[in-house]
Chain A
Amino acid sequence: ETGVTQSPTHLIKTRGQQVTLRCSSQSGHNTVSWYQQALGQGPQFIFQYYREEENGRGNFPPRFSGLQFPNYSSELNVNALELDDSALYLCASSTGQSTNYGYTFGSGTRLTVV
């Protein structure tokens, strides 16, 4: 059974550019959740995708968008990058919408905006 994989591991972008981060969910999981973790803070919920539909969104602007594909892998897109978008982006997969059983994160993508 493979775990959650994210790509790329590191990325440097210039302010104003766009970025796409990718996540492959664990086998058998139909839900993907994305989090942003700024330095020195806990992860913050961006949004969740369940069966290809957005199922809840945190306090992030519309320039953060996502997709989930029929194989349940997912993308996080961020447009018009700002310096404050520099963070560790984490993806987690699970079965079902509830987080009452917790989940396992991928290794993350470190995004630096300069």
Chain B
Amino acid sequence: QKEVEQNSGPLSVPEGAIASLNCTYSDRGSQSFFWYRQYSGKSPELIMFIYSNGDKEDGRFTAQLNKASQYVSLLIRDSQPSDSATYLCAVPPRSGGYNKLIFGAGTRLAVHP
């Protein structure tokens, strides 16, 4: 089992729809969870982080965390073509003392007009 898993996509949604991106992780000791957005040819940009079970909302983005199921998701409401990018889930594992991020391979999102 990979430490952090994401569906590679592409996930295609129409403009204005809700995009739902999912991520599972293997280390139960992980305490924080991050979502990065990466446009083609650019470096990853931190867009959301969550520490506690439940939902965290920031503008059009909502992060959801379920530690019992080892599952974290990102919802993007009112999707825009500018949201088209690869979304990376990242988790600092307890092993190694939380001194690194383990990334999933990313889910490519395409928002079409």
Contact = CB atoms under 8 A, between A and B. Distances in A.
Nearest to A99: B92
B44 A102 contact: no
Given A42-B88, A42-B106, A56-B96, A99 B101 contact: yes
Given A100-B31, A105-B45, A107-B43, 20 more contacts: A33-B100, A33-B101, A35-B101, A41-B106, A42-B88, A42-B105, A43-B44, A43-B103, A44-B103, A45-B100, A45-B101, A48-B99, A56-B100, A58-B100, A98-B92, A99-B92, A101-B49, A102-B90, A104-B46, A106-B43
14 contacts: A33-B100, A40-B105, A45-B100, A45-B101, A48-B99, A48-B100, A56-B96, A56-B99, A97-B97, A98-B97, A100-B31, A100-B92, A105-B45, A107-B43
Main secondary structure on chain A at its contact with chain B? Answer: loop
A21 to B, nearest CB: 13
A88 interface: yes
